[in-house]
Amino acid sequence: MRNSVLALCAAAIAIPAFAAEIPLAERRSGYDFMSRETRTMQDDDTANPGMLWVLDGEALWKRKAGVADRACQDCHGDAGTSMKGVAARYPAFDAAHGRPVNLEQRVNACRVDRQKAPPLAHESRDLLALTAYVGRQSRGLPVAVPIDERTKPFLDAGRGTFFRRQGQLNLSCAQCHDDNWGKRLAGSVIPQGHPTGYPLYRLEWQGVGSLQRRLRNCIVGMRAQPYDFGAGEFVDLELYLMWRARGMKVETPGVRP
Amino acid sequence: MRRIVVAALVCVAANAAGEDSIPSSLTGAKGDPVRGRAIVTNRQVGLCLLCHSGPFPEERVQGDLAPPLNGAGRRLSEGELRLRIADSARINPASIMPAYFRTEGLTRVAPAFEGKPVLSAEQIEDVVAFLKTLNE
């Protein structure tokens, strides 16, 4: 009897159902895994290609749009003041939708409801420019998504997705980014997967993209069915990833290989 | 052809009892080690070198998430290799290694891959035959 109990315990230790989350003190930005050249590119505003999107976003911020003929600036004033720290708190709960929305959805809600303009398409130049500009106002500030009784169920759903094995290759996010970060998947070092620099310039894309675009890359690699841009599952996963990166510094616009 | 695959799937399922190997060939025939090597080193087909390294001097980038393939043929029998490729979860349910010959129990598989194993029975036999040649 005792032997069989011991054997069961040994089996339970050998095969944990869930891998452990990375201890707070051991978390590292993807920035830390990059070459010196790529880090310099991110740090130097004159070399960071993402700054071109930020500059476009600044122009859009000031440009009147829609039937209401209003610019973002007409309501929000100087983004340097009004948008400081905002991106660090997204996805944030939205009462109208009864769920958290990400920054892209917030920008589009403003466009439709306030500017009376059509929403910007996912991954369009203008939406990336505006979110890069708003995100830039939080650079250096700690990620701080507020978790309360309204957002907790969505955080838990996002955590569920992170640990769920998916696709023909039957992989979960956690298996690479919690359990095997720092090791090499073919030639690339696996980062911990903290979304601190989005939207960011990816050398592989030769352009700026959102976190959801990056997540779709991984999901396609798992040979799983990608979530649609803006899907609830995706926003929940974003929320979990931002909570997982709580306290880490916003790097927008980041640069990644 | 379909009958062979069904028979092979039954063979894999029969292994759920916890045996450590699939003793007989999934196709009834021996694999071709030359084709097996090509599958192992192809990052779109075998995917092996994403996680494993091995004696492939021409392959510049190899992964280190999983043990090197060097000596696999010495450490494991043909049947043990076959089971580990077909469905490594039978050895360790928490293993990161995909099941190359299981189409059940998967979630949100992309439509292009729905109902298809990662490798065919023939390809798995080729890989087994190649790995058996890795003696050091």
Banded pLDDT at A20 (limits 50, 70, 90): confident
pLDDT in tens, B49-68: 999 999 999 999 999 999 99
Span A172-186, mean pLDDT?
A: 96
Domain span at B42 = 2-131
CATH assignment of the domain containing A214 = 1.10.760.10
Of A193, A189, A149, A145, which Cα lies nearest the Cα of A21?
A193
| Of B50, B96, B108, Cβ closest to residue A186 | B50
Q: Which residues of B101-129 are buried (b: 16+ CB within 10 A; e: fewer)?
A: bbeeebebbbeebeeebbbbbbbbbbbbb
pLDDT of residue A180: 96
Residue B54: list chain A partners with CB under 8 A: none
Same domain, A82 and A192: no
Q: What is the pLDDT of residue B136?
A: 87
Q: Touching check for A187 and chain B: CB below 8 Å?
A: yes
Beta bridge partners of A92: A101
Of A137, A140, A219, A210, nearest to A176 by C-alpha is A219
Each residue's pLDDT tens digit, B3-59: 444 444 544 544 454 579 999 999 999 999 999 999 999 999 999 999 999 999 999
**A119 neighbors A104 (Cβ within 8 angstroms):** no
Q: What is the mean pLDDT of residues A129-145?
A: 98
- CA-nearest of A66, A94, A113, A100 to A230 is A100
Instruction: Assess if residue B74 is contained within a domain.
Output: yes
Distance from CA of A183 to the nearest CA of B (A): 6
What confidence tier does A6 reach under pLDDT thresholds 50, 70, 90? very low
Are A215 and A227 part of one and the same domain? yes
Q: Which of A110, A173, A176, A218 is catalytic?
A: A218
CA torsion B85-B122-B108-A239 (nearest 10°) is 50
When divided into structural domains, chain A yields a total of 2
The count of other CB atoms within 10 Å of the CB of residue A77 is 11
What is the percentage of chain A residues whose pLDDT exceeds 70? 93
ipTM reported for the complex, 2 dp:
0.89
Identify whether residues A197 and A128 lie together within a single domain.
Answer: no
Q: Which range, of A10-19, A21-30, A83-92, averages the lowest pLDDT?
A: A10-19
Q: Let me know whether A37 and A103 are in one domain.
A: no
- Name the residue range of residue A221's domain: 25-46+145-256
3-state secondary structure chain B: CHHHHHHHHHHHHHHHHCCCCCCCCCCCCCCCHHHHHHHHHCCCCCCHHHHCCCCCCCCCCCCCCCCCCCCHHHHCCHHHHHHHHHHHHHCCCCCCCCCCCCCCCCCCECHHHCCCCCCCHHHHHHHHHHHCCCCC
Is A2 part of a structural domain of the chain? no
For residue A250, the tally of other CB atoms under 10 A from its CB is 23
Q: The tokens 């403003």 sit on which residue?
A: A110
CATH classification at residue B51: 1.10.760.10
Q: Which residues of B touch A183 (CB under 8 A)?
A: 63-65
Query: What are phi and psi for residue B75, nearest 5 degrees?
Result: -75, -35
CB A87 within 8 A of CB A81: no
Partner-chain contact A223 B51, CB within 8 Å? no
For chain B, say whether A220 makes contact (Cβ under 8 Å): yes
Residue B67 maps to a domain: yes
Q: What is the pLDDT of residue B9?
A: 52
pLDDT computed for residue B98 by the predictor: 97
Question: Which two tokens mark A237?
Answer: 């996963």
The predicted pLDDT at position B19 comes to 76
Whether the predicted pLDDT of A18 surpasses 60: no
- In the predicted structure, residue B107 carries a pLDDT above the cut 80: yes
